[in-house]
Structure 1
Amino acid sequence: MKLTSDDLLVILALCRERTLDRAGRFLDRDVSSVFRAIKRIGTKAGAPLFSRSKTGFHPFPAAEELAEQGREISEALSQAEAICSGLDDQLSGRLRITTTDLLLEHFILPNLAGFRREFPNVDIDFSTSNQFAKLWERGFDLAVRPSANPPEQLMVQFLRRLEYAVVRGRGYKPAQGTGSGAEFDWLVPGSGLAQHPVRKWFARNAAACASVTSFDSMSLMIQAVRADLGVSLVPDLPALTDGLVRMDGLEVSEFSEIWCLYHPSNRGNPLIQAFSKFMKRTLN
């Protein structure tokens, strides 16, 4: 027996969600239906695709490969739903977006007028927070976030890669030293940015230094750099680094990626598809 596209979507759901209950919500099915489906698929495949433990289902390599095929099908279905919904000037409704202050200021707002021209009847509510919002708990439709490892339980749309640079204001004069960073006054992400991808870099390079000032806002941290209060690691974007002095002695291999994230139950939402595709197009 051959696997069907529906079988591949079931495999994708269980690989992503790891439990029958969550996979059922992903597929809009009950638990028993998902359980029967995965048993049937294992029989078709001729071998088990998952191991089961108290913590849930764990995919074997073959299941992970099949899940990639299911992901392509899921994305194609979402695109088809968006087309059928008529993503044109008639698209209307309210879209609730959570993002960071930095991404809103430097990525979203500069492009928002273009989105408004394409979709004039879509209302947007922005919420800025540097805490990672749980999309299924706080009433948001979509998150635009930097992440090195976006959550597996969410649908994701990659927007762009983000490099970083060590910079200081032109008026900041660090003390004489070895150039290792110990002589700098460091401006670093605070506890509110605990999941930010550059936190590990600061832990390695700013552990023993002249002073540390932390911020729960990347935007405020960059303002502090421009106020000549110290040295920091900031996104390597002209809008952020123009007028600042690069500190080339410290190696930076860290990067982050910007993603649109949304709950699987919203994968057919035409408002989300319109916004994520627009951002993908304008940021690349």
Structure 2
Amino acid sequence: MTPPATHRSPEILRYTAFSTDPAGGNPAGVVLDAAGLDDAAQLAIAAELGYSETAFLTAPPAGLGGEPGRAFTVRYFSPQAEVPFCGHATVATAIAFAERHGPGDLLLATRAGTVPVTVADEGGALRATLTSVEPAVLDVAGDDVGEALGALGWQTSDLDPALPPRIAYAGARHLVLAAATRSRLADLTYDFDRLTAFMHTLDLTTLQLVWRESETVFHVRDPFPVGGVVEDPATGAAAAAFGAYARELGLVAEDAVLTLHQGADMGRPGELTVALRAGDARVRVSGTGTRIAESG
């Protein structure tokens, strides 16, 4: 007789990205070997974890390239749906992989395109740097800005006119809205259902709410109701999109390194580094990460 098939339970890791403190940054689920998990199983794992995203690695598509054993297909699921790209889960996955197989380069096939990632040991701490897909910055209609402000409970006077609203893309779409003051950014209470409906009409993943502290330092917050999450504590995909936005609008030099602080207003501070290079449209986002110990 043929023995009954056995189903291996995947190892589900928990990591935070953009912080070396497990209580900071943005938590992500990581499954380094998701072979045999269908869409429903991946969504169920993401929903059970309850993090904004969980990343699942499987074998790479034919022709992807990359170093053998360091190239993969990756899919990202929020508790409610699959998303095309997730920066913090990419960083978390790269650091989890490097802890087991050593620093170096990874090549990831995402729904948004191919994303190279490099992990380096910097004084005993691992830092992952992802390179975005080709970004884009698009105009947004005034009526759409008005609806976003209405859902947020903001007024037009709450916006910084030096940083006009745009939709920015670097693997996922984000509406960039700049607050005129730090206190406006800190006071975030919004209509969850109204903002969700609005975001679906424009295929937005998050709103990238920004306050500019200095020439290269920004504070950001990212409502994520379409993923079933009130707010994302540190958002790598939005950071990449914002880098493209800042360059497109001439807010920063062609060669620039930006520091984005996120999560402090949620009690989960994190730091994202965004690097822009002259002559290269792609945006690099880097950060640290660490494993979150399981309770119980």
Give the TM-score normalised by structure 2.
0.27
Q: Which has the higher strand share?
A: 2
